[in-house]
Structure 1
Amino acid sequence: MEERLALRLQLFRDGGHAESRVIDFVVSELDILAAGGQTVTEDTAGMLTSHLVTALTRLLNGEAIEQFLTDEQVAAELAGHPEAVAGARAMAERARALLGAGLPESEVNFLGLHLAALAQRSHACPTPSTEGS
């Protein structure tokens, strides 16, 4: 994992803002995205990382996550990215199964937007050189 993204997660862990199991889950999800060909760095996935850590922590702490209605603009954006919607649903299902944290539909939609943005950034980012490896 890229050093700056790992630092973001370490700050959540060290600051006591998230349980280790949440951080471990998020690391696993980022690894899944990277294995699927996404460019997972602080620049491309930092906001996704923070959003997922925060949402899961709130759910596990019994805090309410505000339900938002998906407006037409969000629905239109997600309609253009069915793979992001499927990825968000799969991620939410793994969170439910592994952590007992059932993300509400509005959170799944936000994850879908993050995943769509990640896919766009991944295609815009050059693959890091493996020279000297």
Structure 2
Amino acid sequence: MDDQLALRIQLFRESGQVRPEVAAFVTGELTALADEGRTVTEDTAGMLTSHLMMALTRLLDGEPIENFTTDEQVAAELDDHPEAVARSRAVSARAGRELGTPLPDSEINFLALHLAVLAQNSPA
């Protein structure tokens, strides 16, 4: 993880926009991706980072997360990226265990899109 991405997480945490445990969880997920050889930088993972931190925060705060009208379209786009979908479901399961709240399907799909883009921007 590069310094700019670490700063993004720090700013979210210090401003109170996300809970410390959410920032720690997302940092752990990004570190795992980097350890697997993914290019985890502000440019490649900034949107993924913000999306995941805010989604988890909304869930922990008890805010509803509605299904999006594009869920079927997003799911169809993911047909060629089963590894991203599997990774996203695993992240959701870990969030359930560690934070007490798994991601709903619509958030799993959007996270999978971010992960598919990250995989495309990383060396094979």
TM over 0.5: yes
Contact 2:37 2:123 in 1 (8 A): no
Letter in 1 for 2:90: A
- Match of residue 47 from structure 2: 47
Letter in 2 for 1:12: F
- Match of residue 81 from structure 2: 81
Separation (CA, whole Å) in 2 of partners of 1:68 and 1:86: 20
- Match of residue 12 from structure 1: 12
Separation (CA, whole Å) in 1 of partners of 2:34 and 2:117: 14
Cα distance per residue 1:93-128 (max 9 Å; x no partner): 00000001121100000010000000011139xxxx
The alpha carbon displacement at 1:75 in A equals: 2.5
- Match of residue 71 from structure 1: 72
Letter in 2 for 1:112: A
Letter in 2 for 1:58: R
- Match of residue 103 from structure 2: 103
The alpha carbon displacement at 1:66 in A equals: 1.3
Structure 1 runs not aligned, ≥5 long: 125-133
Contact 2:84 2:116 in 1 (8 A): yes
| Rg (Cα) greater in structure | 1
- Match of residue 21 from structure 1: 21
CA RMSD of the aligned region, Å? Answer: 1.3
- Percent of pairs with identical residues: 62
The alpha carbon displacement at 1:23 in A equals: 0.2
The alignment covers a number of residue pairs equal to 123
Structure 2 runs not aligned, ≥5 long: none
- Match of residue 93 from structure 1: 93
The alpha carbon displacement at 1:57 in A equals: 0.3
Separation (CA, whole Å) in 2 of partners of 1:30 and 1:22: 12
The alpha carbon displacement at 1:71 in A equals: 2.4
TM-score after normalising by structure 2: 0.94
The alpha carbon displacement at 1:3 in A equals: 0.5
